[in-house]
Amino acid sequence: MFPRIFGKPKAKVDSLSTLQKLTETLEILEKKEKVLLKKVAAELEKAKEFTKAKNKRAALQCLKRKILYEKQVEQLGNFQLRIHDQMIMIEGAKATTETVEALRTGAAVMKAMQKIANIDDVEKTMDEINEQTENMKQIQEALSAPIGAAADFDEDELEAELEELEGIELEDQLLQPVTSSSVQPVQKIQQTIPDQLKHTAEEEELAALQAEMAL
């Protein structure tokens, strides 16, 4: 997938192998330098011994070899400096190259993503998602409806049926027998009438008795 997006990959410089080779060369030069320094010290000791022995010619030969070894040591030191300098340059170039490559890759990915997800496609996708969501809601409502339930209701018919039920309920209330609360006043009236008649008879008897006493 990535080669098709970014194109054919370019040949990369193997900086790690180069750095490893330079390191190995540097180690070899350091070992040679140590060997030459030992030879320099050895020739100097020989020159001292020949000087003590009054062998001037042999002492001079030792000093000449010592100078040649020292020049080689100096040359090896310059080689090591050059290698160190090149290693530093390669490491810096490697970091720069990796940074540029990472930025180039990121830019290519962003460009490819923008082609895949442009604003028109996003809006179209959102419209499709909203449509599918609405369809799913309708399906769920249809599945959750009671079996045999009508899809639509006539509100006028429902109102008429409700009024009819209310009228029947009112008739039933009016036709119900009189309750004890309504009987109590009648009973109270019935009890009051004999009491009033009783009081009237007593008053008549009292009036008759007073008349007889007056005679």
pLDDT digits (tens, 9 = 90+) for 149-168: 544 667 777 778 777 887 77
Residues contacting residue 46 through CB under 8 Å, at least 6 positions apart: 58, 59, 62
| Structure confidence at residue 148 (pLDDT) | 54
pLDDT under 50 in the chain at which residues? 1-11, 150-151, 180-183, 186, 189, 215
Give the integer Cα–Cα distance in Å for 61 and 8. 65
Cα–Cα distance for residue pair 146/144, rounded to 1 Å = 7
Judged by phi (left if over 0) then psi (alpha if -120 to 50, else beta), residue 132 lies in alpha
Handedness of CA 184, 185, 188, 190 (dihedral sign): negative
Residues in the chain: 215
Q: How far is CA 41 from the centre of its chain?
A: 71
Separation between Cα atoms, residue 104 and residue 199, nearest integer Å: 126
pLDDT at 67: 94
pTM above 0.85, yes or no: no
Helix axes 15-52, 56-116, angle to 10 degrees: 170
Burial class of residue 62 in the structure, from the number of CB atoms within 10 Å of its CB (0-12 exposed, 13-18 middle, 19+ buried): buried
CATH number of 15-126: 1.10.287.1060
pLDDT of residue 39: 94
User: Domain ranges in the chain?
Assistant: 15-126
